[in-house]
Amino acid sequence: MRVLLVVESHYGNTRKVADAVAEGLLPHDVILEDVWQAVPPTQVVDLLVVGGPTHAHGMSRAGTRRTAREDHPDGQEVHAGIREWLDRLPAVERRPAAAFDTRIARPRLLTGSASHGMSRRLRQRGYRLLDASESFLVEASEGPIAVGELERARAWGSRLAGLLAGR
């Protein structure tokens, strides 16, 4: 089965989480693409997974990406993020999808969660969420990833693989 995993990452943390999710999705055929290179799928994929960082309680916006770049000039420059990518996503009928984010290791009420908005946009486009969205924790904006989170990301990817195989 084919899985498309699209990720937005500024400091590399969300990309590391995406790599771990992709490992968990094996043995499925996983295509992992950075959001600035990804085009919405024109071919049928069996599962679409999207992931990105939480900025200002939700998905990144042009202003939050600019601030991230100004605060950390060695980070990845991202002109369009998951928000814009999902806005270009064509409507489908009940295709499986999943969403994850990275956020600072504080209570969700304080940080928000980008995956909540990603999930809503996926449902608006006709996707069916295969599992609840997931947040993976980082110690600070620039990292590091919190202890145990990469293992949790692999396990979540494995859970998605099992759900996909059993659908």
pLDDT in tens, the chain (167 residues): 999 999 999 889 999 999 999 999 999 999 999 998 888 887 779 999 999 999 888 888 877 777 777 776 666 666 789 999 999 999 998 999 999 999 998 766 567 899 999 999 999 999 999 999 999 999 988 889 999 999 999 999 999 999 999 86
pLDDT at 151 (0 to 100): 98
Range of the domain at 24: 2-166
Q: In CATH, what number is assigned to the domain containing residue 132?
A: 3.40.50.360
Number of residues that make up the chain: 167
Structure tokens, 143: 């990292």
CB of 130 closer than 8 Å to CB of 98: yes
**Strands 2-7 vs 96-104: parallel, antiparallel or unpaired:** unpaired
Count of the separate structural domains present in the chain: 1
pLDDT at 155 (0 to 100): 98
Q: Spell out where 114-155 has E strands.
A: 128-129, 134-138
